[in-house]
A and B are shown apart, each in its own frame.
Chain A
Amino acid sequence: MTAFLQALASGLALGAIYGLIALGFNITYATTRTFNFGQGAFLVPGSLVGVSLVLLSVGKPHFGNLAPAEMTMTAYLLATLASTLIVGLIGIALYYCAIKPFVGVAGLNWVLSTIGFGIILQNTALAIWGPASIAVPSPLGSDVYRIAGAGIRPQEILVAVVAVAVMAGLDYVLRATKLGKALRAVAFNPQAASIVGINVEKIVIIAFVISSALAGLAGILIAPITTASVFIGMGVALKAFSAAILGGLTNPRGCMAGGFLLGLIEALVGLWRAEMREITIFLIIIVVLVVRPAGLFGTKTVEKI
Chain B
Amino acid sequence: MTHSITRRLFGALVATTALAGLPALAQQGEIKIGYNADQSASGAAELGLSGRYGFEAAIEDINAKGGVLGRKLVAVIRDDAAAPPKSIQNMNELIDNEKVAAVVGPTNSGNALAWLHIPQQKKVPVVSHVATATEITGRYAKEAQNYIFRVSMVDREQLALLAAYAVKASKDKKVAIIADTTGYGQAATKDLQEILALHGITPAGIEKFGPKDTDMTSQLAKLKAAGADMIISGSLADATAQVLKSMEKMDYYPGLLSTWGSINSPLINIAGAKLAEKTIFAASTTADANPKAQALSKRLLARYPNMPAFVSAAQGYDAVMLIAAAITKAGGTDGDKVAAALEDVGPVEGIIKTYNKPFSKTNHEALGVADFHLAQWKDGAVVKLDNAIVKGLTAADLKR
Contact = CB atoms under 8 A, between A and B. Distances in A.
Interaction A to B: yes
Interface of A: 2-3, 6-7, 10, 13-14, 65, 68, 130-133, 135, 142, 144, 146, 150-153, 225-227, 231-232, 235-236, 267-271, 274-275
A7 B81 contact: no
B41 A271 contact: no
A131 B250 contact: no
Interface residues of B, number: 32
Contacts of B266: 133, 135
A271 B221 contact: yes
A274 B41 contact: no
B214 A225 contact: yes
A80 B270 CA distance: 20
Contacts, number: 82
Nearest to B224: A3
Nearest to A151: B249
B78 to A, nearest CB: 16
Contact of B45 (A132, A153, A225, A275): A132
B219 interface: yes
Interface stretch (B64-72, B157-165, B204-212): B204-212
Nearest to B269: A135
A132 B217 CA distance: 25
B334 interface: no
B251 A235 contact: no
A132 B40 contact: yes
A152 B249 CA distance: 6
A226 B214 contact: yes
Given A151-B248, A274-B208, A135 B270 contact: yes
B277 interface: no
Contacts of A267: 215, 217-218
Interface string B28-51: 000000000000111101000000
A267 B246 CA distance: 12
Interface in B191-224: 207-210, 212, 214-215, 217-219, 221-222, 224
Nearest to A142: B272
Given A132-B41, A135-B270, A153-B249, A10 B208 contact: no
14 contacts: A3-B218, A3-B224, A3-B225, A7-B218, A14-B215, A65-B265, A131-B82, A135-B266, A135-B269, A146-B251, A151-B250, A151-B251, A225-B214, A275-B208
B238 A133 contact: yes
Contacts of B40: 130-132
Contacts of B221: 2-3, 6-7, 271
A13 B212 contact: no
Contacts of A130: 40-41
Residue in B210, B218, B225 whose Cβ sees the most chain A Cβ within 10 Å: B218
**A3, A68, A144 interface centre (most CB from chain B within 10 Å):** A3
Interface string B355-371: 00000000000000000
A153 B215 CA distance: 11
Contact of B218 (A146, A236, A270): A270
Nearest to B274: A142
A46 to B, nearest CB: 17
A267 B221 CA distance: 11
A274 B214 contact: no
A225 B268 CA distance: 15
B105 to A, nearest CB: 18
Contacts of A225: 214
B40 to A, nearest CB: 6
B98 to A, nearest CB: 24
Contacts of B249: 6, 10, 144, 150-153
Given A132-B40, A133-B238, A10 B218 contact: yes
Contact of B212 (A132, A146, A235): A235
Given A231-B212, A274-B208, 13 more contacts: A2-B221, A3-B222, A10-B249, A131-B42, A131-B81, A132-B41, A135-B269, A146-B251, A268-B218, A271-B218, A274-B209, A274-B218, A274-B219
Interface string B260-274: 000001100110100
B215 A10 contact: yes
Nearest to A66: B269
A25 B104 CA distance: 48
Nearest to B265: A65
A227 B266 CA distance: 10
Nearest to A227: B270
B215 A274 contact: no
Q: Identify the interface centre among B209, B224, B265, B269: most chain A CB within 10 Å of its CB.
A: B269
B185 to A, nearest CB: 12
- Give the interface centre of B42, B181, B215 by most chain A CB atoms within 10 Å: B215
